[in-house]
Amino acid sequence: MFADGFYKWKWLDNKFKKKQKYLIELPNSELFSFSGLYDKWIDKKTGEIKIAATLNQLR
């Protein structure tokens, strides 16, 4: 998958109730890639386009 940025969440409390997002980008808004799965299909009942995506984070 390709992106020019993504959000990383930081928990602000120990009860996991409050969090703040941080936008992570490369210099000059360059594109980068990372692993993930993506699929797009049309709902047969409504005709609506559905999109699903998941990103993998390795440590």
- The per-residue pLDDT for range 14-57, each reduced to its tens digit, is 888 899 999 999 888 889 888 889 899 999 999 999 999 888 76
For the chain, domain boundaries:
2-55
The residue written with tokens 């709902």 in the block is 43
Q: Can you give the pLDDT at residue 12?
A: 93
Cβ partners under 8 Å of residue 22, min gap 6: 7, 8, 9, 10
Question: What is the SS3 assignment for 54?
Answer: strand
Exposure b/e, 31-57, CB count within 10 A at least 16 = b? eeeeeeeeeeeeeeeeeeeeeeeeeee
Q: pTM value?
A: 0.52
Amino acid at site 27: P
